[in-house]
Structure 1
Amino acid sequence: MTTPPRVALVTGGSRGIGRAIVRRLSGDGVRVLNLDLQAPGQLENGEHYEQLDVADAPRARERLATLAREWPVTDLVNNAGIVRPATIEDASEDDLDAVVAVNLAAAIRCVQAVLPGMKARGYGRIVNISSRAALGKPLRTVYSITKAGLHGLTRTLALEIGHHGITVNAIGPGPIATELFERVNPPDAPATRRIVESIPVRRMGTPDDVAHGAAMLLDPRSGFITGQVLYVCGGMTVGLGHAA
């Protein structure tokens, strides 16, 4: 089968892990449609940015349907996500609604938008950006629920649409040195040093580490990998650390 020209839809592609994925795909010659609330500092080659709140169900559903008709999307990266740290006692209904809307419902909405085109072409790659927190992490009650939900979505979709030539996988990043992480965890702080020391490879991960994993799963040659969760975590999921 001849692989169609690659066009990737990436949600939350303007900062952090999403930005690294956009850069990597662009460098690999993939046209990228970046949907984010904020514009990137500079567009990559072949990148088109559009402002969109993927949690705004009516607006997002309408715009995604139009974009799916205009762009022959072959690759989907569900990266947009938010965190509202709280214990189970402190987690509110508002926290639950907000995090589910971005981390889980938006991912389903994006899949539904691009799936008809992927089926028609008999080809597709879907990668859901999850988190090591799906395995459990203190103060991540709502967040971990949504990321674990992405694992269920990944496995179910892999079974449902694999015969259409579409693979579905997830990536579970561990401790990644994004701008947000470094604001909350200064490099020289004792807590940050403890995190690094708990990682078997003894360094923080980078957004490029996650982008490399995503690029591999999105590659046309990865057609026999589906329904899997790839932990890009420096080995932390092998042990019992809680530092993602």
Structure 2
Amino acid sequence: MADSAKERVLVTGGAGGIGAAIVAQQRGLGREVIVIDKQPGGIVADLGVAAQVETALAEALVGGPIHRLVNNVGYIRVANLEELDIDDALRTYEINVLAAMRCAKALLPGMREAGFGRIVNIASRAALGKAGRSAYSGSKAGIIGVTRTWALELGQHGITVNAVSPGPIRTAMFEAANPAGEPRTQQIIDAIPVKRVGEPDDISAAVGFLLDERGFITGQNLNVCGGMTIGAVPL
């Protein structure tokens, strides 16, 4: 198969934030990038609704198989356990975990036929635990778990599966959960060894590396967090 046939990339949640940075990075390499997002800018679908995901994936595959997948879309609501809305928690898992499963499953036949595939799942440092994030941290720990499982299942087919776990990144979602000027937000910044919040390009660089690795890195979770996962102050 010609190398050009491997140059299609699917990015979920690619209309803004980290996703948009990943899309720009991949397009800068000359690749065709297909975006599925609730916002305009690609194939429009709510990734929390199974029927819409299936329709969007069918549309994405009309142009041929896709051999690189970034499961980036994310959903978060801040609530302590006693305030947790279970329906909202179910939506969190639907978007953060099940959408990734649906996308990977849909693209898998083309990857297997080619003997080549790269899947990168966007997890989160919150998988280690973060107050007020019961549903979110659980879903991100789940995506790290399926990353490891898929690596075991798919490695024999030339498909690698890895995760990237961002720390605090300057996106609309982060800023909504951590408003500027609040003491809690400053505590987060103070706890980062590099003393700054990350930028979306910090994540796209890591994702780009994993999308192009030579096939011997799989099942790994790369924390891109400014050293926060080894910081002395738990948050």
- TM-score class, shorter: over 0.9
Structure 2 counterpart of 1:50 = 43
Structure 2 counterpart of 1:128 = 121
Structure 2 counterpart of 1:15 = 16
Amino acid at match of 2:134: T
Percentage identity across paired residues of the two chains: 49
Distance 1:195 1:227 in 2: 28
Report whether the alignment pairs 1:93 with 2:86: yes
Three-state SS of the structure 2 residue aligned to 1:89 is helix
Distance 1:175 1:242 in 2: 14
Structure 2 counterpart of 1:168 = 161
Three-state SS of the structure 2 residue aligned to 1:19 is helix
Distance 2:52 2:15 in 1: 20
Please, which of 184, 193, 197 is the counterpart of residue 204 of structure 1?
Answer: 197
Q: Deviations over 1:8-42 (max 9, x none)?
A: 000000010001100111111111000101124xx
Task: Name the CA shift for 1:183/1:160 in 2 (closer, same or farther; >3 Å).
Answer: closer
Larger deviation: 91-100 or 160-169?
91-100
Please, which of 150, 159, 170 is the counterpart of residue 152 of structure 2?
Answer: 159
Larger deviation: 106-115 or 4-13?
4-13
Q: Which TM-score applies when normalising by structure 1?
A: 0.90
User: Size of the alignment, in residue pairs?
Assistant: 234
Q: CA RMSD in A?
A: 1.8
Instruction: Say if 1:138 and 1:242, in contact at 8 Å, map to a contact too.
Output: no
Instruction: Say if 1:154 and 1:227, in contact at 8 Å, map to a contact too.
Output: yes
Distance 2:125 2:226 in 1: 11
Matches within 5 A, 1:83-122: 83-122=76-115
Distance 1:241 1:102 in 2: 30
Structure 1 counterpart of 2:208 = 215
Amino acid at match of 2:74: G
Task: Name the CA shift for 1:223/1:2 in 2 (closer, same or farther; >3 Å).
Answer: farther
Q: Deviations over 1:136-166 (max 9, x none)?
A: 0000001111000001100000000101000
Structure 1, gaps ≥5 residues long? 41-48
Query: What is the CA-CA distance between 1:68 and the residue it aligns to?
Result: 2.5
Q: Which TM-score applies when normalising by structure 2?
A: 0.93
Instruction: Say if 1:216 and 1:222, in contact at 8 Å, map to a contact too.
Output: no
